[in-house]
Amino acid sequence: MSYSVAHRAAVLLAAGESRRMGRPKALLPWGHSTLLEYNLQELVAAANQVVVVLGAHADRLRSLVRPPVQAVFNPDWPSGRVSSVLAGLRALGAPSSILIAGVDSPLAPGLAIRLFEAHAASGCPITVPTHGGRFGHPPVFDGSLLPELLGITEEGEGLREVLRRYPVYTLEVPYPSVLWNFNRPEDYEAAYRLVHGL
């Protein structure tokens, strides 16, 4: 398989049930839109191909997904996050690099573009943002790793299987949001106040 130099791909995971949050994370307000719409806007500005993986709340989210974004439904979403990663990866063409993000981790403005550019310049197979020296997300993988990424399993800790095999270029950023995952209402509310001042 040949990989296009210009083809940057992004996968946004939005298939979970959000049980601990009590409502779909993708629909949480973020600025003047929802987390889903905000993250898709950031990814469309950075990537040539954007795929969003839907699952538990697909019927409520589909109307928020507009071209050029491609929506993929993962019927196996109850089995765990890995099934959604795989569903998104299978929809990709032949990318030069692949960014994999979660809808519950709002991307700082312009971060996706910075990560793609840093990855292209680094020569490393994987790029990960850090904040305060701590590994964050989203990671960017070289397109040549796609076959290996398609082999990840829930038992093998998903993307960590591949992260452990290769050198990682770390990009230190001033955004604490690279460390966030919104699992509970208090997580989201604290982050919203920090970013939006409300």
What CATH code is assigned to 8-196?
Answer: 3.90.550.10
The torsion angles phi and psi of 113, rounded to 5 degrees, stand at -65, -45
Three-point CA angle 22, 63, 92, nearest 5°: 95
Q: Identify the segments of the chain with pLDDT beneath 50.
A: 1-4
Alpha-carbon gap, residue 114 to 173, rounded angstroms? 10
What's the CA gap between 13 and 85, in Å, rounded? 7
Q: How far apart are CA 88 and CA 145, in angstroms?
A: 15
- How high is the pLDDT of residue 1? 36
Give the whole-angstrom CA distance, residue 190 versus residue 104.
13
Task: Give residue-wise pLDDT tens across range 114-163.
Answer: 999 999 999 999 999 999 999 999 999 999 999 999 999 988 889 999 99
Q: Look at residue 107 in the predicted model and tell me its pLDDT.
A: 96
